[in-house]
Amino acid sequence: MNLALWTALRGLRVRAGALVITVLAVALATATALTVPLVTRQVERGAQDAAQVFDLLIAAPGSATQALTSSLFYLDAPTGNLSERLYEELRDAPGTRRAVPLGLGDNYLGFPIVGTNAAFFDQRLKPKDPPYFQVAQGQIFTAEHQIVAGARVAREGGLKLGSTFKGAHGLEQHEEEGEGGEEHGHDHHDEAYTVVGILAPTGGPVDRALLTPIETVWEVHGQDTPATRQVTAVLYAADQLAGIYVTAQRINAGKEAMAVFPGQVFAGARDVLAQGQAAYAGLSLLVLGIAALTVWLGVHSATVDRQKTVALLRALGAGRMTVFGLVLGETLITVTLGVVLGLALAVVLSGLGGTLLGNRLGFTLAPPQLTWALAVRALALIPLGLLAALPPAVAAARVSPLRHL
């Protein structure tokens, strides 16, 4: 180990307090610059994964985003209802591979009760793939008021095969509803549901859904005749790609419903997020600049402490470039430690944030992926820190050894 490097490491050890403060400042700046973009990308991937089992969403006219968040993620109120007739037309139309009705309106402990049919369990990522939703225990429903519970609601609601409960009207749990679903108000339906199946975890919003025959929804809401029966939305898949666009054009040409392409909604949301990320990127640069200023202050404040060491090195024959390299070497070690710690901290924070946000949104987010494009933001702090250290390094190199010996 050469003299300059040994001296740099020893100097950092002597100034351990200042080193820790500078490293933490760099680490926090790095984590601040990366955490939000990492979480945002987790949400994008998780949302797209949750929507890839169907081609088209047919819902009542209104906001496409609201239709998607209500019928796919169960996070919003539906835009309205569709007639059973429209659903049957979609189901029986030539070229239809699958038309899955959804009926919303009730909940149990805040988890949505979703009316549908057996076709729901036949949804696939690709035609030749196995069904996306697999029953881990029991079977799919075969009669009204039977429930196939998602993995999360079964776990958090304490539901097992044979468990019974009463649903409450509305999409959210009411304050008067006690633990265990005890009825303290008058918004509960009289007939109990029975759990006959529990789904394997998917990481998607269906993990927190309670699936029951669509006929159950019609019965509990008094929709006894075909003229009164309604569905909230239809998940549509066609045999051919052209059939998807033909169906979408036909639906959007009318006034009763709208056809929503999930990819287009996600693209629009991504554009909005991109604008926010651009502003955040500017803020990140400011934070990284402050970190570079902290590095400069740390190097500058150490100059006084380093003067006798520099004078001794010069007296022992070290040249100006050696002293110059000593200062830059200390800075390089400090900033690199801070950046590495910041990268690790960003991954940990985004993982925790993604878990909390995923629980809130109702689907599991994939682990954060630290791409080179994001890492470069943090790695740019290394040359920025070295640039900030140039003036103190030049000043140290120009110090005469006679002044301090």
> Residue ranges of the domains in the chain?
3-47+269-403, 61-256
Which residue in 335, 14, 82 sits closest to 90, CA to CA?
82
Q: pLDDT tens digits, residue range 329-342? A: 777 888 888 888 88
CA angle 219, 118, 238 (to 5 degrees): 115
- More reliable by pLDDT, 224 or 113: 113
What is the tens place of the pLDDT at every residue in 299-313? 666 665 566 666 656
Q: Per DSSP, what are the bridge partners of residue 107?
A: 112, 168
Q: Quote the strand ranges of 144-279, DSSP E.
A: 146-149, 164-165, 168-169, 193-199, 210-213, 230-231, 233-238, 258-260
Condensed to tens digits (0 to 9), the pLDDT of residues 2-42 reads 555 555 555 556 566 667 877 888 888 888 878 878 877 77
Pairing of strands 111-116, 210-213: parallel
For residue 129 the two structure tokens come to 């793939």
Q: Give the span between the Cα atoms of 157 and 181, in whole angstroms.
A: 9
How far is the C-alpha of 152 from the C-alpha of 149, rounded, in Å? 8
Least confident of 133-142, 337-346, 388-397: 388-397
Higher local confidence (pLDDT), 194 or 368: 194
Specify the range with the lowest mean pLDDT, choosing from 117-121, 127-131, 179-183, 265-269.
179-183
Query: What SS3 state is found at 115?
Result: strand
